[in-house]
């Protein structure tokens, strides 16, 4: 039996990772630790919440005593660390909360793992989930490899870069068994509707303006979230201790071209005439420090661990648009704030720590 602590499991990517592990590995105990910030939503895990190999704990990765007691009580063998503040625009407005959660929270987890595993590090693993944004911004050519020097620009990417450095420092200084993966932009079901794809799908449905930052020429490399979860599964089980793996689908899109695909797809699903919603495009002031281009070289992951994405982008976008249209209530509960009551009804009196 393996006891795996997944942090941030009530968020977008974390909920897909939790679901995958709970379903695929009935012999693992999955402990999901999440602070339920604005980005955490237990409805994301409604289908697996009663499973016997799953425990939810509401808690903050910055809380040293709570983290220590979780390691002890659940005899944690491995950590998959996803909890973070994750939105660049919020980091521009409030860099401190990013430094606190992403840097100090990660450090707190590392320290607890180091202490708890100090007598026996055999088969232990601290797996840190990070972003390609730590590498900075590319011009029109080239790809980020695992050797690309760190050059973060936003407070978000600076905080993630710092957390990556702390993970490597613990690996080098204390021999903590650690792996890092750096992934490109994710999309899919359960993404908080502040990020480009879910925000724009929702706005197209509701005939609201689509705020395109700057010229819309910026490039992002998109990966379907379930493919990221499958990469995390592969890296967790087959990755080499001490290594870093870049995760991506070789799928670059200029924002404006992607937005046009979204408009076309949503309009078709809603049986509107092609091009109906194009007038919603609204160019606005650019994001401060807006990185021009991200693009990941994921060939190490493919060549060494045999992982490749399963979905073509067109199929992923179809599935994603369909999911948001069929789950309007999920979005509405977020826009009204109602989603945050779910914890009180479901878990408040049975928090297991
Ligand atoms: P998210 O914002 O959807 O979810 C983050 C989760 O962490 C939420 O459930 C939130 O409640 C929880 N959390 C925040 N602060 C916490 C704290 N102090 N203690 C405990 N829990 C806390 O984020 P996401 O998009 O799912 O990203 C997950 C991870 O993957 C992050 O580390 C992010 O940097 C990384 N990542 C994201 C992307 C992407 O495109 N979204 C790409 C690459 C890497
Ligand atoms: P986002 O989803 O915030 O991810 P990230 O900033 O981490 O890449 O944004 C994706 C791209 O879309 C990015 O270039 C910024 C741009 N964008 C807009 O043009 N308008 C918006 O309202 C948002 C949220 C993003």
In tens, the pLDDT along 276-287 reads: 999 999 999 999
With the most atoms of ligand 2 within 8 angstroms of its CB, the residue from 89, 187, 192, 220 to mutate is: 220
State both tokens at 35. Answer: 């602070």
Contact 29, 2 (CB under 8 A): yes
Q: Is the pLDDT of residue 352 over 80?
A: no
Q: Could you tell me the residue ranges of all domains in the chain? A: 2-346
Q: What is the pLDDT of residue 48?
A: 98
Query: Nearest-CA neighbor of 190 among 81, 292, 320?
Result: 320
If one counts every other C-beta atom within 10 angstroms of the C-beta of residue 302, the result is 14
Domain spanning 2-346: CATH 3.30.70.20: no
pTM: 0.98
State both tokens at 180. Answer: 């890092």
Ligand that lies nearest to the alpha carbon of residue 254, given by its number in the listed order: 2
| Residues labelled as active-site residues | 132-133, 156
How far is 136 from 153, CA to CA, in rounded Å?
Answer: 6
Q: Is the pLDDT of residue 1 over 70?
A: no
Q: Is the pLDDT of residue 80 over 90?
A: yes
Q: How far is the CA of 89 from the centre of ligand 2 (A)?
A: 8
Length of the chain: 353
Q: What is the pLDDT of residue 351?
A: 72
Q: Is the pLDDT of residue 52 over 80?
A: yes
Question: Between vectors from CA 134 to CA 60 and to CA 117, what angle results, nearest 5°?
Answer: 45
Q: Which residues contact 242 (CB under 8 A, 6 or more apart)?
A: 171, 177, 178, 179
Give me the chain's average pLDDT, please. Answer: 97
CA of residue 256 relative to chain centroid, distance: 23
Q: Is the pLDDT of residue 104 over 70?
A: yes
Helix (H) / strand (E) containing 211: strand 210-213
With the most atoms of ligand 2 within 8 angstroms of its CB, the residue from 195, 198, 212, 293 to mutate is: 195
In tens, the pLDDT along 107-147 reads 999 999 999 999 999 999 999 999 999 999 999 999 999 99
In tens, the pLDDT along 234-257 reads 999 999 999 999 999 999 999 999
Q: How far is the CA of 100 from the centre of ligand 1 (A)?
A: 13
Contact 278, 263 (CB under 8 A): yes
How far is 78 from 236, CA to CA, in rounded Å?
Answer: 9
Q: Which residues contact 348 (CB under 8 A, 6 or more apart)?
A: none
């Amino acid at each position: 039996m393996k006891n795996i602590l997944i942090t941030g499991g009530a968020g977008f990517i974390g909920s897909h990772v939790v679901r995958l592990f709970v379903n695929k590995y009935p012999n693992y105990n999955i402990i999901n630790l999440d602070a339920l910030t604005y980005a955490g939503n237990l409805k994301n895990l409604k289908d697996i919440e009663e499973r016997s190999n799953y425990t939810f704990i509401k808690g903050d990765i910055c809380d040293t005593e709570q983290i220590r007691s979780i390691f002890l009580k659940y005899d944690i063998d491995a950590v998959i660390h996803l909890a973070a503040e994750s939105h660049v625009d919020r980091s521009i407005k409030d860099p401190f909360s990013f430094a606190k959660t992403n840097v100090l929270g990660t450090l707190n987890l590392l320290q607890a793992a180091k202490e708890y595993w100090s007598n026996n590090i055999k088969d232990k693993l601290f797996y840190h989930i990070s972003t390609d944004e730590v590498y900075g911004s590319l011009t029109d050519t080239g790809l980020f490899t695992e050797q690309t020097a760190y050059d973060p620009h936003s407070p978000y990417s600076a905080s993630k870069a710092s957390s990556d450095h702390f993970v490597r420092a613990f690996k080098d200084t204390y021999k903590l068994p650690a792996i890092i993966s750096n992934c490109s932009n994710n999309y899919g079901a359960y993404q908080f509707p502040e990020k480009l794809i879910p925000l724009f799908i929702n706005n197209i449905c509701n005939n609201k303006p689509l705020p395109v930052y700057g010229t819309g020429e910026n490039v992002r490399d998109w990966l379907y979230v379930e493919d990221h979860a499958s990469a995390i599964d592969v890296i967790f089980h087959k990755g080499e201790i001490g290594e870093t793996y870049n995760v991506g689908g070789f799928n670059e899109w200029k924002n404006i071209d992607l937005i046009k695909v979204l408009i076309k797809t949503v309009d078709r699903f809603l049986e509107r005439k092609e091009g109906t919603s194009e007038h919603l495009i609204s160019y606005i002031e650019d994001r401060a420090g807006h990185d021009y281009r991200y693009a990941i070289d994921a060939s190490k992951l493919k060549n060494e661990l045999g992982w490749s994405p399963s979905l073509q982008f067109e199929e992923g976008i179809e599935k994603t648009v369909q999911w948001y249209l069929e789950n309007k209530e999920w979005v509405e509960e977020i826009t009204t704030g109602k989603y945050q009551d779910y914890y009180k009804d479901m878990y408040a009196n049975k928090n297991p720590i």
